[in-house]
Structure 1
Amino acid sequence: MTTATSLFDPVENDLSILIDNLTSLVQAQHPILGAAAEHLFSAGGKRIRPAIVLLLSRATMKGLDITPRHRRLAEITEMIHTASLVHDDVVDDAELRRQVPTVNTLFGNRIAVLAGDFLFAQSSWYLANLDNLQVVKLLSEVIRDFAEGEIQQGLSCFDTDVTLEKYLQKSYFKTASLIANSGKAAVILSDAGEEIANKIYSYGRNLGLAFQIVDDILDFTTTTEILGKPAASDLASGNLTAPVLFAMEEKPSLKILIEREFSEEGDLPQALDLINQSHGIEKARALAYQHSQLALEDLQCLPNSPAKESLMDLTDYVLSRIK
């Protein structure tokens, strides 16, 4: 199976530079904030979002080297993503991420919220220094979308009237917006034209939605050890994702269990059984495939290059996580 690491071969050196730069970019006067930032960036992760920015930068520069502004955009993208994870972990009261203690576990919720705010502020400062108003607007929209997505999720807990459309909108806000808008920003910095910029925005949107749907499937099909968080944690907290929404259409009794918030003994295991007995996971997999294919079509606007090949392979990689 193709790994994320091998997918990013065309930008392997670029990613090494990015990883070296991240901690030095986030310099804090208070040692606790500095320690929190260092912990975040040393915790690993696949760096998928900045890698996509770098791949798109190389794919649209027509054989020329990418610019310092492309590199800084990739770094800003990872800073914004990391800030959102810190806030997510506070909201979810998560103890682990990628099998290491979260910032809120190590430093407490108060410092974790401030660390997330600090990363957002630092990324905004570097963003402003790119001196491109269109790019500033795109990435500022991402930060707004993160908050909107968290609010939507918080207000819709255990709400069995949530539609698939609402679920996809929330998934866009929480996951796809960053990939779509940072990708479009990379194309703008390459001066590749509005038509390609809009196609790449659509690529990022569809890839991000496929990525989120696959994550939501894995919540039901993968062990806690592999996930790095408790399995079925979304369902237990009332976050109704694609497999659940599809399953409710087939299993009306699932709605009853959700609406009473799994308050009776055995409710959650029974709900999981109903989901597994339905075609919910299968239908969610089909939805992820649909969005990955749309993402693949969006890439036809780019000239052939190793970077484009990697971006195309990424649409398969996203789905391979649930094969």
Structure 2
Amino acid sequence: MSYTLIRHLRRATLLSHQIRLETTMTNLTQEDFLIRPPFAQWTKVISEAEKIVGYPTSFMNLRWLLSDEFANVAMHLRKVVGSNHPIIQTAKTVLYNEHNNLQPWGLVILLLSKAIRPSQSTSFFHTNTTTEQQRTLAELTEMIRTGHYVHRGLLNIPIEERCPNTETALFANKIALLIGDYLLVTANGMLARLKNADLSYLISTALRDVSEGEFYGDRDEQNMPLPGKPNMIGKDEFPICSDTLPLATKDVSGSPIKEWTLRTMYNGGSLFGRGCQGAFLLGGLGLTEQEKAYQFGCHLCLAWQSASELQKFTSDNKELYSIASAPVLFALNENPELYKVIDSCRDNIADIDLVFLKEEVLKTHALERTRLLHLENARRAEGFVDMFGDNESVHTIKRLIKTM
């Protein structure tokens, strides 16, 4: 075989590997980081909620989309349009002015802020100031979430496999880093301008949790999470508390509810909970009420995540799913032999036959247990929001919960 032919075959192999990496990351990255619950009535309920808060939450992105700094980065982003890099899919998901652009987290934080009775604030001036601060909190919470989401869409291309055909992917990695960094820095700047040390401390603990989540558990070569080996130790329940200590990781891996809850808390549950807690902090409420707000935010996020993962297995569409999702973890716990499928492809989960694995999951009671997990978290979220009074904002939040 001639040298020229060998060279072309190697380049074709590397290009195929690059496309495979990009396809894998584009399809699987989002499974671990919930953008929004995929429910049919979602758009209608969101629109009604926005009328209550008097603020179209689709505007939350405009603060950074229209900035000169982001415009400069966007010019470079155009150079990778047409590639299959995850940053392109991320941009479509985040920036398109469609149902995917809705900002449920920020909206819920604004609804919680609206639910606080004016009599609980000391003055009319304080009420107006707090409302503006709570709106900023809602925006920066969404911005942190989006920034982290962008950062997760990076391709890991080993040095020995880099060539001219991978230059576009490497350039796109740099753009993803710039966009993610810009969002996180901007969010931290907004937080600093609020000049509230207690709120800064709360959001900092959420940032710590988000960061630590990237190092929890085993990962494949693309940093995609691998489920823990089935190993039930003690009661399968993960405690949620608003203290600012790091999330407990002891005896969690391999225990389905514990592991799934910890992963979801790392992937956004903690951040959303702190955002809800921060809204009550800015509203002048005490620690007891703040604890309820935190618990509400965490359980609502857990309910949304479990509903989203459940849909992947019940939908007629051939949707890809995370192998660290609740149905898979429950199935592995019920049938530990399935872990051999995971273990045989631990270097690259793209090699897993997801169709076969899904069929095996459906043979177990995993979906029923995931439904119960969803119902339990939705019930707890509704129970906490009931404590926030009887008003239009609370009723709307309960409608958001019941759309799941």
Relative to the length of structure 2, the TM-score reads 0.66
1:98 maps to: none
Quote the residue 2:104 is aligned against: 48
Partner of 1:33: 73
Whether 2:261 is the aligned partner of 1:168: answer: yes
1:114 aligns with 2:178: yes
Which residue of 226, 247, 256 maps to 1:157?
226
Query: 1:83, 1:115 within 8 Å by CA — same for their partners in 2?
Result: yes
Partner of 2:335: 251
Which residue number in structure 1 is paired with residue 241 of structure 2?
none
The Cα of 1:265 is off from its aligned counterpart by 8.8
Which consecutive residues of structure 2, in runs of 5 or more, have no partner in the other structure? 1-39, 78-89, 120-126, 158-167, 220-224, 231-253
In structure 2, the partner of 1:314 is 400
Say which of 234, 239, 251 aligns to 2:322: 234
Q: Tell me if 1:141 matches 2:141.
A: no
CA contact (8 A) 2:227 2:329 kept: no
SS at structure 1 position matched to 2:382:
helix
Q: Which amino acid aligns with 1:51?
A: L
Q: How many residues align?
A: 299
Structure-2 separation of matches of 1:248 and 1:29: 46
* Corresponding position of 2:311: 218
Residue 204 of structure 1 corresponds to which residue in structure 2? 297
**Residue 3 of structure 1 pairs with residue 42 of structure 2:** yes
RMSD: 3.2
Deviation at 1:177, TM superposition (A): 1.1
1:5 Cα deviation after fit = 3.7
Check conservation: 1:247, 1:279, Cα contact below 8 A.
yes
**Closer, same or farther: CA 261–302 of 1 in aligned 2, 3 Å:** same
Superposed CA deviations along residues 19-48 of structure 1, whole A, max 9, x for unmatched, are 445323462436432556997444542210
Task: Summarize the Cα distance change of 1:183–1:158 in structure 2 as closer, same or farther, 3 Å threshold.
Answer: closer
| Structure 2 SS opposite 1:231 | coil
Question: What amino acid does structure 2 have at the position aligned with 1:296?
Answer: E
Q: CA deviation at 1:303?
A: 1.6
Provide the rounded CA distance (Å) in 2 between the counterparts of 1:81 and 1:195: 26
Change (3 A) 1:266 1:10: closer
Aligned match for 2:272, one of 166, 179, 185: 179
Once residues 29 and 265 of structure 1 are traced to their aligned partners in structure 2, the CA distance between those partners, rounded to angstroms, is 39
Partner of 2:62: 23
- Determine if contact 1:243/1:281 at 8 Å carries over to the other structure: yes
Please tell me whether residue 288 in structure 1 is matched to residue 357 in structure 2. Answer: no
Q: Is 118-127 or 139-148 further displaced after alignment?
A: 139-148
- Residues in 2 aligned to 1:268 and 1:42: alpha-carbon distance in whole angstroms: 29
2:306/2:326 contact within 8 Å kept: yes
Alpha-carbon distance in 2 for matches of 1:34, 1:314? 34
Structure 1: unaligned runs, 5 residues or longer: 94-103, 225-229
Q: Deviations over 1:155-209 (max 9, x none)?
A: 4515424222122111111121122100010111111222111101000111111
**2-side partners of 1:146 and 1:154: how far apart?**
16
1:251 positional shift: 2.6
Cα gap change, 1:241 to 1:19, in 2 (>3 Å): closer
In 2, Cα distance between the equivalents of 1:51 and 1:256? 42
Alpha carbons of structure 1 residues 28 and 136: separation in structure 2 relative to 1, 3 Å: farther
2:149 maps to what in 1? 85
- Which shifted more, 49-58 or 271-280? 271-280
- In 2: Cα distance, 1:119 partner to 1:130 partner: 17
Kept in 2, the 8 Å contact 1:56–1:308? The answer is yes
| Whole-angstrom CA distance in 2 between matches of 1:267 and 1:178 | 33
- Using structure 1 for the length normalisation, give the TM-score: 0.81
Partner of 1:277: 363
Residue type at the aligned position of 2:186: Q
Q: Residue deviations 1:31-66, cap 9 Å, x none?
A: 432556997444542210000110001001437666
CA contact (8 A) 1:175 1:212 kept: no
